[in-house]
Amino acid sequence: MSLDKYINQIVEGNCIEVMKNFDDEVIDLTVTSPPYDDLRNYKGFVFPFEDIAKELYRVTKQGGVVVWVVNDATINGNETGTSFKQALYFQQVGFNLHDTMIFRKTNPIPQIYRKRYNNEFEYMFVFSKGTVKTHNPIMVDCLHAGLELNGTTYKNFSKNEQTREKLAKPVKDKKIKGNIWEYVVGKKQEDQEAKGHPAPFPCELVRDHIKSWTNQGDIVFDPMCGSGTVARVATEMGRQYIGTDISHEYCEIARKRIKLIEMQPTLFIVEEPREEYRMETEEEALPPTRVWQNGGGSAKLNGSNSIKQ
């Protein structure tokens, strides 16, 4: 079996049948979202979840990642819990549940009031086959960059000890982004290209995952690619893609979107310089999550930031 004929193609068909043609351990990253509890009408196609999860495990490379974006329906006042049941099933077939991330919508659809708060997020379960082989963390600005917290103490949460220490250095400029990611849905020009599909990903969400879990040239897969957002963004970022969808109409939308990107005079590769981020042990990853304690000390500023203490 060779993957060559599927590389950089949108393949019309049932993803489970298409995946059967792939060798073992060939995919670096899958980013996908399944039909959610029949929340939307995707033309009534069958969705054999268990078989798909098993095939995804087989075709994922050691250290590769699957990002599964999903939500629950609420039926007779009761959330189905399908998202978590699926996450647990992915564990059963061998994946690690590497991270449970949240996709927060900055413009959620208003819902009829039924004595609950408006739903404004979806789960992004990040599964890995063994230890993750590629992580290019997205960095964000630190709110208190440059601040020297003289006399302020912090709690260092580690497995075995919780100590208080004096903070020696000023707060760094950048830190690793948290695992709640916010996106506007359907408003940007690049997202409006997906018109005709009821539930496309925001391109930005896909960009952030591709950047995080792959390097240039890696193979990115979306077994239920709909309007082809994953393939489109993978092309733009110099990755190879494979997309499958059971609907002829959606495959056509996907192909058109990819063509638009390929027609750009110079392919726009969205790639920031690689951040050097090295951790020797899991414990070293803990300081960014430390909890600041107000020890009553004074705060001194470096640079132009201003803060009242």
Ligand X SMILES: C[S@@+](CC[C@H](N)C(=O)[O-])C[C@H]1O[C@@H](n2cnc3c(N)ncnc32)[C@H](O)[C@@H]1O
For ligand X, the closer of residues 43 and 172 by Cβ is: 43
CB-based contacts of 97, cutoff 8 Å, min separation 6: 87, 90, 91, 125, 126, 127
Q: In angstroms, give the least distance from the CB of 234 to ligand X.
A: 12
* Dist. CA 209–CA 30, nearest whole Å: 10
Strands of 219-222's sheet in order across: 9-12, 240-245, 219-222, 27-32, 60-70, 121-128, 96-105, 180-183
The residue written with tokens 């220490």 in the block is: 165
* Dist. CA 152–CA 307, nearest whole Å: 15
Q: Residue from 245, 257, 258, 261 that binds ligand X (CB under 6 A)?
A: 245
Q: Residue from 152, 214, 227, 240 that binds ligand X (CB under 6 A)?
A: 227
Contact letters (x/-) for ligand X, 9-48, by CB under 6 A?
Answer: -----xx-----------------x-x------x--x-x-
The residue written with tokens 């018109």 in the block is: 195
Contact letters (x/-) for ligand X, 146-185, by CB under 6 A?
Answer: ----------------------------------------
Q: In angstroms, give the least distance from the CB of 165 to ligand X.
A: 45
Phi, psi of 249 (to 5 degrees): -60, -45
Nearest residue relative to ligand X (C-beta): 226
Please, are residues 79 and 42 in contact by the beta-carbon 8 Å criterion? no
Q: In angstroms, give the least distance from the CB of 203 to ligand X.
A: 9
For ligand X, the closer of residues 167 and 233 by Cβ is: 233
* Dist. CA 228–CA 252, nearest whole Å: 9
Question: Would you count residue 241 as binding ligand X (CB under 6 A)?
Answer: no
For ligand X, the closer of residues 131 and 189 by Cβ is: 189
Contact letters (x/-) for ligand X, 182-221, by CB under 6 A?
Answer: ------------x--x-xxx--------------------
Size of the residue set binding ligand X (CB under 6 A) = 23
Please, are residues 151 and 295 in contact by the beta-carbon 8 Å criterion? yes
Distances (CA, A) of 295 to 143, 291, 298: 19, 12, 9
Residues at the site binding ligand X, with contacts judged by CB under 6 A: 14-15, 33, 35, 42, 45, 47, 194, 197, 199-201, 223-227, 229, 244-247, 250
